[in-house]
Amino acid sequence: MQYELVVANPANNITLLVLTPVEDRSKAACLLLNDPTLRAEQVGFVVPPLTPQDLWRLEMMGGEFCGNAARSFGLFVARTLGYTAPVELPIRISGMQDPLFVKVNPDAGTAEAAMPHPLGRDTLFFKIAPDLPGFLVPVYRFEGITHVIIPSIPPLNQRTPWFHAVKAQVEQTLSTPPALGVLFYDKAQDLMIPGVYVYATDSLVFESSCGSGSAALGVWQYEALLEGEALCRVAQPGGVIEVRVGKHHGALQSLSIGGHVSLGERIHIFTE
């Protein structure tokens, strides 16, 4: 089959925006993810508006929500509609019931997406092995994805076992989301390494960066903030995502992620 797509690069979290209508999205996503020439970490399927009143929509490969994909898609829509000056556009994306607003500067290649607020915060008792002590870790539930923050980065060969240990404990104690993120965070290095599992495609990717994970980390870092707006730059293997957190009387009022996004030209990929 032939797929027409655009390759988006938000902080090296390579995202494929598929323009070809596809019936079996899980199969298409697996084929594209396994194409070594694309180096993709996630796949979204573009649904153009059917009427002037409709919004452009992006359906992620497993029905999950993704902040980086939302930023990339907002920039894609702005350029497709011919915008050159900065503009704020509403889009729709899987994992969210309401429209999401993206501020884009098409010429500069930047996009900032207003993020959904966490639906709730939980605490998980994480124990990697029976003979090792456990510890409590924060869990943030968003529409379409749940993130667990682990304040430690295990060695490379231990990250997958650690991820699956967290995943098993989440499934035992919390409801199963469309996607699960485990955010390994080293405060001393100020570095986050995100792993994301999508249930519909049975895929685990240690991503170069994660937008919604960055938002979760920003909310966690500023839990004690009572008033005002704070900006943090979340460093990840693929680059930096800026997170803005606004609070009033201790309550979360605004949350967004932003930064540079590069979009390639439309290309055609052939698969069996």
50 and 163 share one domain:
no
pLDDT digits (tens, 9 = 90+) for 221-230: 999 999 999 9
Residue in 60, 71, 126 with CA at minimum distance from that of residue 94: 60
Domain count, the chain: 2
Count CA within 13 A, CB hemisphere, residue 217: 32
pLDDT of residue 254: 96
For each of the chain's 272 residues, which pLDDT tens digit applies?
899 999 999 999 999 999 999 989 999 999 999 999 999 999 999 999 999 889 999 999 989 999 999 999 999 999 999 999 999 999 999 989 999 999 999 999 999 999 999 999 999 988 776 777 788 999 999 988 999 999 999 999 999 999 999 999 999 988 888 999 999 999 999 999 999 999 999 999 999 999 999 999 999 999 999 999 999 999 999 999 999 999 999 999 999 999 999 999 999 998 76
104 and 134 share one domain:
no
Give me the residues paired with residue 138 across strands: 123
Domain that holds residue 50: 2-111+260-270
126 and 254 share one domain:
yes
137 and 242 share one domain:
yes
The residue to which tokens 């323009």 are assigned: 19
162 and 42 share one domain:
no
131 and 190 share one domain:
yes
186 and 252 share one domain:
yes
pLDDT digits (tens, 9 = 90+) for 146-186: 999 999 999 999 999 999 999 999 999 888 889 999 999 99
Residue in 144, 145, 72 with CA at minimum distance from that of residue 113: 72
154 and 244 share one domain:
yes
Q: What is the DSSP letter of 164?
A: H
- Axis crossing angle, helix 211-221 with helix 67-80, rounded to the nearest 10: 120
Provide the CATH number for the domain around residue 60: 3.10.310.10
164 and 233 share one domain:
yes
240 and 153 share one domain:
yes
- Which residues neighbour 82 within 8 Å (Cβ) at sequence distance 6 or greater? none
Q: pTM to 2 decimals?
A: 0.90
Provide the CATH number for the domain around residue 207: 3.10.310
